[in-house]
Amino acid sequence: MIPLGPQSPAAPAPVQAEQLRANMRRIAQRQWWLWSSAVMVTLLLTLGIASFAFPGLLSETEASFNLNLAIRGLVGLVLLFNVYTIYQQLQIRRIQRELGDQVEALGKMEVRTEEVYKLAVLDPLTGLNNRRSGEQRLAEEISRSQRHGRPLTILLLDLNGLKHLNDKFGHAAGDELIRQFAARLNKAIRGSDLAVRLGGDEFLVLLPECKPDEVRHVLSRLSGLNVDCNGRSIAVSFSAGWTNFIPGESPEDLLKRADGALYVNKRASIEQDQLTTAVK
Amino acid at 260: G
Task: For Cα atoms 207, 226, 221, give the angle at the middle one, nearest 5 degrees.
Answer: 25
> Is 101 one of the catalytic residues?
no
Residue 64, SS3 per DSSP: coil
Catalytic residue among 101, 167, 201, 213: 201
Count how many Cα atoms sit within 13 Å of the Cα of residue 136 in the half-sphere of its side chain.
Answer: 13
What's the CA dihedral at 169, 175, 176, 177 to 10 degrees? 80
Close Cβ partners of 38 (under 8 Å, ≥ 6 residues apart):
81, 85
- Decide: 182 and 126 in contact? Cβ < 8 Å: yes
Count how many Cα atoms sit within 13 Å of the Cα of residue 70 in the half-sphere of its side chain.
Answer: 16
Helix intervals (H) in 65-197: 67-121, 131-148, 162-169, 171-188
**What is the distance in angstroms between the CA of the first residue and the CA of the last residue of the chain?**
50
Pairing of strands 202-208, 226-229: unpaired
Strand partners, 204: 156, 196
**Which of 148, 179, 147, 146 has its CA nearest to residue 162?**
179
Distance CA 171, CA 231 (A): 16
Please name the helix (run of DSSP H) or strand (run of DSSP E) that holds residue 7, with its range, or none: none
- Decide: 16 and 107 in contact? Cβ < 8 Å: no
State the DSSP code for 245.
Answer: P
Active site positions, annotated: 201
